[in-house]
């Protein structure tokens, strides 16, 4: 599965025999590859549009404000995870732990805020500390993931699976496994506040800002370029002087931090810190990234694709509920879409290599 695998460019052996004296691809081949590249970026937008259409016809309620608010609020939960996951997957890794980190950080920060309120701390200050705790804890867990992956040279799959298992149970141990409802009022306000005439939740705005910042970081900065380089040719990246280990630690740390932020968003949405938060969210996040066109082999992916992928999954959930189908079908549908996306990825790879 998504363990590190060698990149598509193999050494000397793969010299293309068709390369003429000028070594140029034929126009039709170039056009074909171009088309393959482009559709890879945009076919999912078509899928999203089609889904909106189909669900819209079956359940016109889809086009109400309430339904949009629901969908977007639900999307925030794993959009934040998917942002970090995009970087991780582009480096050729995977972060299975971020759903568990979401739940764990949410609970720990809930406990901290609860006890601060109990000793009559200022509520705004308590909220700020709550956020700081969640982000710092998320960053720390991500750092540990990255450290183990780079220093012990363990596969990301194994390390983050271990983290998932180890801290997956922790939320149920914190606070005796009970929900935490004594939270500062600011938390509840954050969860219900809207902007733009009630069309956008504050939490959605936060996620959108995170998305734009991280999207620019990925596609416009040195950090992003090196993220692609590492996933595309790890050895080559090392040889070109990139500190690959430090970069990877950073990528996993950011992923953990965003999971901490997601933990706070979920707490805000429910005005409650709950031990079941985030369960299986990592799978939705990975699915969103892969649907968005990222390759599990590393080197490819876009932030825009991840956003579209996220909304495809969120829409599946809301849409199926609106249509009146048992919510469990959402998982079936997600599974099918993920396999289709990966299959397409493989087909494109094979076409490109012919």
Partner 1 sequence: MVADEPRFGDGGGPRDADGPGRQAGTDGGVAVDGEVPVIAVRGITKHFGSIQALRGVDLDVRRGEVVGLVGDNGAGKSTLVNILSGALQPNGGTILVDGKAVTFGSSLEARRLGIETVYQDLSLAPDLSVWANIFLGREETVKGPLRVFGWLDRRAMARSAEADLERTRIRIGSVSSLAGRLSGGQRQAIAVGRAVAWGSKVILMDEPTAALGVEQQERVGQLVRSVCENGVPVLFISHNLPQVHKICDRVVVLFQGRVVANLRPAESSVDEIVAWITGAAMGGARSGL
Residue number, 204 or 244, with CB nearest to partner 1: 244
Q: Is 241 near partner 1 (CB under 8 A)?
A: yes
Beta bridge mates, 195: 200
CA atoms in the 13 A half-sphere facing the CB of 321: 11
Q: Is 352 near partner 1 (CB under 8 A)?
A: yes
Q: Is 274 near partner 1 (CB under 8 A)?
A: no
Q: Is 27 near partner 1 (CB under 8 A)?
A: no
- Stretch (H or E) spanning 269: helix 244-270
Of 220, 247, 207, give the one whose Cα is nearest residue 302: 220
**What is the DSSP code (8-state) at residue 312?**
H
Beta bridge mates, 194: 201
Interface region with partner 1, contact rule CB under 8 A, candidates 52-60, 64-72, 152-160, 220-228: 220-228
Question: Who's near 198: CB < 8 A, 6+ residues apart?
Answer: 65
221 exposed, middle or buried (CB, 10 Å; 0-12, 13-18, 19+)? exposed
Q: Which of 67, 232, 269, 284 binds partner 1 (CB under 8 A)?
A: 232
Q: Is 21 near partner 1 (CB under 8 A)?
A: yes
Q: Is 293 near partner 1 (CB under 8 A)?
A: no
Q: Which of 1, 4, 5, 10 binds partner 1 (CB under 8 A)?
A: 10
Number of residues that bind partner 1 (CB under 8 A): 42
Q: Are 248 and 155 in contact (CB under 8 A)?
A: no
In angstroms, give the least distance from the CB of 129 to partner 1. 28
Residue number, 48 or 217, with CB nearest to partner 1: 217
Window 181 to 210, contacts with partner 1 (CB under 8 A): none
In angstroms, give the least distance from the CB of 218 to partner 1. 11
Q: Is 283 near partner 1 (CB under 8 A)?
A: no
Q: Are 255 and 305 in contact (CB under 8 A)?
A: no
Rounded distance between C-alpha atoms, residue 332 and residue 110, angstroms: 33
Q: Are 271 and 183 in contact (CB under 8 A)?
A: yes
Q: Is 237 near partner 1 (CB under 8 A)?
A: yes
Q: Is 335 near partner 1 (CB under 8 A)?
A: no
Which residues lie near partner 1 (CB under 8 A)?
A: 7-12, 14-16, 18-25, 33, 217, 220-223, 225-226, 228-229, 231-233, 235-243, 299-300, 352
């Amino acid at each position: 599965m998504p363990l590190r695998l060698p990149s598509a460019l193999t050494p000397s052996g793969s010299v293309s025999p068709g390369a003429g004296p000028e070594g140029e691809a034929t126009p039709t081949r170039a056009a074909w590859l171009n088309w393959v590249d482009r559709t890879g970026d945009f076919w999912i937008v078509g899928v999203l549009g089609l889904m909106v259409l189909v669900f819209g016809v079956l359940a016109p309620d889809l086009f109400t404000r309430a339904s949009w608010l629901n969908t977007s609020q639900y999307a925030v939960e794993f959009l934040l995870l998917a942002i970090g996951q995009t970087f991780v997957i582009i480096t050729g890794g995977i972060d299975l732990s971020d759903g568990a980190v979401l739940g764990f950080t949410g609970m720990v920060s809930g406990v901290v805020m609860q006890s601060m309120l109990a000793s009559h701390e200022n509520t705004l200050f308590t909220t700020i500390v709550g956020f700081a705790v969640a982000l710092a804890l998320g960053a720390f867990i991500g750092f540990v993931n990255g450290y183990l992956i780079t220093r012990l040279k363990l596969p990301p799959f194994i390390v983050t699976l271990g983290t998932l298992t180890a801290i997956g149970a922790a939320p149920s141990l914190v606070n005796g496994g009970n929900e935490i409802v004594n939270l500062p009022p600011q938390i509840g306000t954050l969860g219900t506040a809207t902007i733009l005439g009630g069309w956008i939740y504050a939490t959605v705005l936060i996620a959108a800002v995170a998305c734009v910042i991280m999207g620019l970081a990925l596609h416009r900065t040195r950090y992003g370029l090196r993220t692609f380089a590492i996933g595309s040719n790890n050895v080559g990246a090392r040889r070109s002087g990139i500190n690959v280990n430090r970069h990877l630690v950073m990528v996993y740390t950011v992923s953990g931090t965003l999971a901490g932020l997601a933990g706070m968003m979920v707490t805000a949405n429910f005005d409650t810190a709950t031990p079941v938060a985030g369960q299986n969210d990592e799978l939705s996040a990975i699915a969103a990234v892969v649907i968005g066109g990222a390759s599990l082999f590393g080197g490819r992916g876009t932030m825009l694709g991840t956003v579209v992928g996220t909304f495809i999954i969120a829409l599946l959930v809301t849409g199926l509920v609106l249509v009146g189908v048992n919510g469990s079908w959402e998982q079936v549908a997600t599974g099918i879409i993920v396999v289709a996306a990966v299959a397409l990825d493989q087909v494109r790879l094979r076409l490109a290599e012919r």
